[in-house]
Amino acid sequence: MTSPREIDEWADCLYDAGAVRFAIDRVAVRIALDVADARPVVVCVMNGGLPFTAALLERFAFPLEVDHVHARRYREAAPGEHPRGADLCLRVEPAQPLTGRNVLLVDDVLDEGVTLARLKAFVEERGAAAVRTAVLVDKAVTGRTFAADYAALSAPDRYLVGWGMDYNGWYRNLRAIYALEDPA
C-alpha cells in the first residue's frame, strides 16, 4: 500500500488543505443561515461523512444535536470501486427521534446520489419536518437525478480520496482531496 506521503506520485491534488477549509467555511455559513433557528439534528453518514461533519460542527455556534447513520450499499465490487446501483442496507440507524425535527444529512461525496437520496427518504419516512443534505464534494456524474442542498466543492467524475473519501479504507484522513489516475 502506498503511503499518504507518496500520494502525489500517483494522484492529482484537486484541492489542497487550505482550499478545502475555505470551501467548508463558505458552505458552513450558508447552512447556518438556513438551519440555525431550527435546532437541527445533524446526522453524519458514516464513515465518509465524519471529517466533513466534524469540520461543520466546529463552525456551527447554534444549538443542535448530533447523530449518525451507517449505510452500506451491497454489491460485489473490485477493490477501490464504489458499488453502483446496489441495494442500501442500514447498519446503524439514528438514535434520536426524528419526528417533527429538522435534519441535516452530511456525507463526504455525491456520486450517483443513490445513497443520499435513499437516506433522505428514510429520514422523511421517520417523520422529519424538513431534511437538508450537505456533501463536501459534488462529483460531475452524468445522468444523476438527485442533488444535494449544499456542496462545498465540485469535482470531475474521478475516484477521489481524502477528507473521508477512501481507497480500500485508506486515506480518509488526508486534509487535501486527490483524484486517482486509475484506482486499480
Instruction: Please report, for the domain that includes residue 159, its CATH number.
Output: 3.40.50.2020
Would you give the DSSP letter of residue 55? H
Catalytic residue among 108, 111, 138, 166: 111
Task: Give pLDDT tens digits for 56-76.
Answer: 999 999 999 999 999 876 544
Please compute the mean of the pLDDT values over residues 24-40 and round it to a whole number: 97
Question: Has residue 1 got a pLDDT over 60?
Answer: no
Please compute the mean of the pLDDT values over residues 6-28 and round it to a whole number: 92
CB 116 within 8 A of CB 107: yes
3-state secondary structure 115-144: HHHHHHHHHHHCCCCEEEEEEEEEECCCCC
Q: How many residues does the chain have?
A: 184
pLDDT for the residue numbered 177: 97
Question: What DSSP letter does each residue of 29-44 carry, written as one string?
Answer: HHHHHHHGGG-PEEEE
**Domain enclosing residue 133, as ranges:** 4-180
25 is an active site residue = no
Q: What are the CA-CA distances from residue 54 to residues 28, 44, 121, 184 (Å)?
A: 11, 9, 24, 30
Provide the number of structural domains found in the chain.
Answer: 1
Would you give the DSSP letter of residue 165? B
Predicted confidence band of residue 7 (pLDDT cuts 50, 70, 90): confident
Percent of the chain exceeding pLDDT 90 equals: 72
